[in-house]
Amino acid sequence: MAATFFGEVVKASCRAGTEDEEEEEEGRRETPEDREVRQQLARKREVRLLRRQTKTSLEVSLLEKYPCSKFIIAIGNNAVAFLSSFVMNSGVWEEVGCAKLWNEWCRTADTTHLSSTEAFCGFYHLKSNPSVFGSCPRKNMQITILTCRHVTDYKTLESTGSLPSPFLKALKTQNFKDPACCPLLEQPNIVHDLPAAVLSYCQVWKIPAILYLCYTDVMKLDLITVEAFKPILSTRSLKGLVKNIPQSTEILKKLMTTNEIQSNIYT
């Protein structure tokens, strides 16, 4: 096993083996037909960024076409609900693109005409302030990442049952100088998947970035978990973007009600 800068655990290849395994490997050597199938799957697994207006692939990097000083990434149902209710409800946001992705675990339709629900990821920018871009150029940009993990993933000497779930922890790169709105994530805790990849990239390229990680015991869309992100509204990154918190709270409650109705198998 190996670990990235922020502790994301990845599998390392190993060349150790027995003679029987080597003989089996020789018997499984790739044929031209196997190679063609593998290449077709590799092409199908490519992530494509599409313009929302024209439904065509972007010829250049999305952030080169829409340069920004603030880039906000929300990962997971609760983080997306928080961003949609409290941030994107303030001001006029325009969807500028979406991501198309296919693999064995996550599939989108084989078409460029993706709806908002079919797209793996949507990209928006604030029309009144195009320097704000929400879900790189490496200078004059600050990245904020929001996501959740289950509270049982949190490493502590205390019993997880005694923790006041949900709660926020932060992890930031060396170049991020603003204060965090919550305690920093302690060792030996690590972050995983896309948040770890983004933070590692930002650390290497000296981009100011901070991850706000909400530990919760409810991973589905949950009002209490979404509201646990509220302290972030006072940070420098989001402070000027939210104008009407009471109205945003009402929008969040309507979103939760709609989700509960859609999740009911008897209606």
- Shortest CA distance to 190 belongs to which of 40, 3, 33? 3
For residue 21, being part of any structural domain is answered with no
Judge residue 123's burial from the number of C-beta atoms within 10 Å of its C-beta, 0-12 exposed, 13-18 middle, 19 or more buried: buried
pLDDT top residue among 158 and 192 = 192
Q: What is the pLDDT of residue 122?
A: 79
Which has the closest alpha carbon to 173: 136, 120, 227? 136
- Which tens digits make up the pLDDT trace of 74-93? 998 899 888 888 888 766 78
Q: Is 208 part of a structural domain of the chain?
A: yes
Residue 28 lies in a domain: no
Q: Which residues contact 229 (CB under 8 A, 6 or more apart)?
A: 78, 79, 82, 86, 146, 168, 212, 214
Helices (H), 107-216: 193-204
Q: What is the pLDDT of residue 157?
A: 86
DSSP state of 84: I
Beta bridge partners of 182: none
Question: Which comes out higher in pLDDT, residue 260 or 1?
Answer: 260
pLDDT band at 212 (very low <50, low <70, confident <90, very high): very high
Residues 93 and 96: their CA atoms lie apart, in Å, by 9
Residue 66 in domain? no
47-60 pLDDT per residue, tens: 666 766 555 565 55
pLDDT of 13 strictly over 70: no
Residue 105 has pLDDT above 80, yes or no: no
Domains: count for the chain: 1
For residues 66 and 133, is the Cβ–Cβ distance under 8 A? Answer: yes
**Residue 46 maps to a domain:** no
Our CA dihedral for 124, 77, 198, 14, rounded to 10 degrees, sits at -140
* Alpha carbon 238 to chain centroid, angstroms: 17
In terms of residue numbers, what domain contains 243? 73-108+117-264
Residue 55 lies inside a defined structural domain of this protein = no
Residue 68 in any domain: the answer is: no
Q: What does the mean pLDDT of the chain come to?
A: 76
Rounded Cα distance between 208 and 201, Å, is 11
Q: What is the mean pLDDT of residues 182-208?
A: 92
Give me the pLDDT at residue 183, please. 95
Is 97 among the domain residues?
Answer: yes
In CATH, what number is assigned to the domain containing residue 130? 3.40.50.10900
Nearest to 152 by CA among 79, 211, 219: 219
pLDDT in tens, 129-149: 766 666 544 456 889 999 999
